[in-house]
Amino acid sequence: MEKYVKKILASRVYDVAEETPLQVAANLSRRLDNAVQLKREDMQPVFSFKIRGAYNKIVGLDDEARARGVIAASAGNHAQGVAFAARTLGLKSVIVMGRNTPSIKVDAVRNLGARVVLHGDAYDEAAAHAAELADQHGYSFVHPYDDVDVIAGQGTVGMEIVNQHQGLPHAIFVPVGGGGLIAGIAAYVKYLMPRTRVIGVEAEGSACLAAALAAGRRVRLPFESLDLFADGVSVAQIGKEPFKVARSAVDEVITATTDEICGAIKDLFDDTRSIAEPAGALAVAGLKKYVQREGIAGEKLVAVVSGANVNFDRLRHISERAELGEAREVILGVTIPEQIGSFLRFCRTLGKRAVSEFNYRYSRDGDAHVYVGLQVSARDDRDRVLAQLDDAGYAVYDMTDNEAAKLHVRHMVGGRTLGAKQELLYRFEFPERPGALLRFLAGLGGEWNITMFHYRNHGAAWGRVLVGFEAGPRDRGPLSRYLKKIGYRYWEETDNPAYELFLR
């Protein structure tokens, strides 16, 4: 730890980085009954903390290395940090980004003077190509997190928190991707304030640090299960150097769901009128879960808001999920009798609750199925709604945590298969770029008849599709083998109750 503290104190990040404020979150503090402060790294020149580590690494290169230029692999904030640092120092920079990187990010890096090379879809493919180019041209590779100088640069965030905070914080919450930020913060904070808890927060599907700590060694998460929503922290394996620090200096790791992250983005907007990216709001999501779990009050808590580079098109998806993440909305599938007056009786059972969404589908089986979103005040209120409907004799399915229902079915209520056709349902994710949907359909080919199709652009690097195939249980094996050849992530949803209620 002492080695890192010395390197952090000697870091030259302030040639380009700002000392960002530690801001009181008044609304969150009132709601959580704790003193919550936000470390506003979204206010850096490139709207992310990444500029600190990138500059600290590059400024330390010797003259010969500077003359050759630098290279990095990144689809987001690290790319902008490297490009900004290189431009400030008058160096050539090359950034390798996935072909599915949204154009807003590509343009931002180009506008900072870097040459952009589009290669692959996932980070590993881009990083491998960047390493090849570094060998060919002699560029210095600037790693986004697994580098001592990068970690030291990010550690200046921890140094500022220590200097700015009045008194001893109970806990500091830090988003975790590859681990560079939490390693730097933990090294500094634990050396000077060992009683302060340093808590990492990971996206539920990208919890590589939690997996490593549980196993006692670094493990690689399978790409098939990797979270792609919080793309800024979507990392399959914690860095080697960050793990050395984290295993001794990080107190625990909390995971957050997509809905919880969206709820945290809304919380940050309410308190700061700024819009954090999903990874940027991750620490706040973890802070809220920690307070709820521990039942603490009157404590001083800090959350690092790590970035604000979010695509505008993603905001509609985020806003749809924010209320769910706050447990302020419940999504239900309710079966009611298909007869005169039953719809009115159902609405009267709901009473004066605010309805956020209402979709209705006539059924041939003598019942009607309603897809309804209701505003609730807390988890207990959600349980009361379910009990109230159950007491009234309604068959109710809680779809609040059903991904297929929230991503697709809510936009499809009304369509059903014709006749006695058999159908298997699958949900896919594929790299989103111009022409991607056409390539996806071409990959499906003409061997299987498509009975249902729903695609919606969420402004992210990955497209999401729900597809029905004319096939029965006996076809499941051949169809699964066929889909594996296409190479996209997929999940079967044939047994999903939302499908049974509204689409079959």
Q: Would you list the DSSP string of 326-369? A: TT-EEEEEEEEESSTTHHHHHHHHHTTPPEEEEEEEE-TTSEEE
Q: Give the residue-averaged pLDDT of 401-422.
A: 71
Write the Ramachandran bin of 98: left for phi over 0, alpha for psi from -120 to 50, otherwise beta. beta
Predicted TM-score (pTM) of this structure: 0.78
- What is the C-alpha separation between 198 and 195, in angstroms, rounded? 9
pLDDT value at 18 more than 60: yes
Burial 30-51 (b: 16+ CB within 10 A, else e): eebebbbbbbbbbbbebbbbbb
For residue 173, what pLDDT is reported?
Answer: 98
Structure tokens at 280: 């940027």
Q: Of residues 9 and 377, which shows the higher confidence score?
A: 9
Instruction: Give the DSSP H or E segment for 108.
Output: helix 103-111
Query: What is the 3-state composition of the chain as percent helix, strand, coil, each rounded to the nearest 5?
Result: 45, 20, 30
- Look up the CATH architecture of domain 327-401: 2-Layer Sandwich (3.30)
Domain residue ranges of the chain, discontinuous segments joined by +: 2-44+166-323, 50-141, 327-401, 414-502
pLDDT value at 408 more than 60: yes
Structure tokens at 484: 């594996």
Fold for the domain defined by 50-141: Rossmann fold (3.40.50)
**Three-state DSSP class for 1?**
coil
Pair 162, 267: CB distance under 8 Å: no
For residue 416, what pLDDT is reported?
Answer: 58
Q: Give the residue-averaged pLDDT of 235-264.
A: 95
Q: Is 50 a catalytic residue?
A: yes
SS (H, E, C) 61-82: CCHHHHHHCEEEECCCHHHHHH
Catalytic residue (one of 39, 50, 57, 300): 50
Catalytic residue (one of 74, 289, 306, 406): 306
Q: What is the CA radius of gyration of the chain?
A: 25
Domains 50-141 and 327-401 share a fold: no
For residue 435, what pLDDT is reported?
Answer: 66
What residues contact 15, with CB distance under 8 A and at least 6 apart?
55, 59, 88
Q: Give the residue-averaged pLDDT of 287-315.
A: 93
For residue 170, what pLDDT is reported?
Answer: 98
What's the pLDDT band for 165 if we cut at 50, 70, 90?
A: very high
Beta bridge partner(s), residue 376: none
- Domain 414-502 bears CATH identifier 3.40.50.1980: no
Residue 116: other Cβ atoms inside 10 A:
17
Q: Return the CATH number of the domain spanning residue range 2-44+166-323.
A: 3.40.50.1100
Q: What is the CA angle 142-461-303, rounded to 5? A: 65
Q: What is the pLDDT of residues 49-102, one digit of tens each?
A: 999 999 999 999 999 999 999 999 997 899 999 999 999 999 999 999 988 777
Do the bridges between strand 140-141 and strand 70-73 make them parallel or antiparallel, or are there none, so unpaired?
parallel
Q: Give the residue-averaged pLDDT of 100-123.
A: 87
- What is the C-alpha separation between 260 and 488, in angstroms, rounded? 26
What residues contact 402, with CB distance under 8 A and at least 6 apart?
331, 496, 497, 498
DSSP for 237-287, written as a single string: S--HHHHHHHHHH--EEEEE-HHHHHHHHHHHHHHHS----HHHHHHHHHH
- What is the C-alpha separation between 368 and 343, in angstroms, rounded? 9
Looking at residue 192, its amino acid is: L
Q: Is 39 a catalytic residue?
A: no
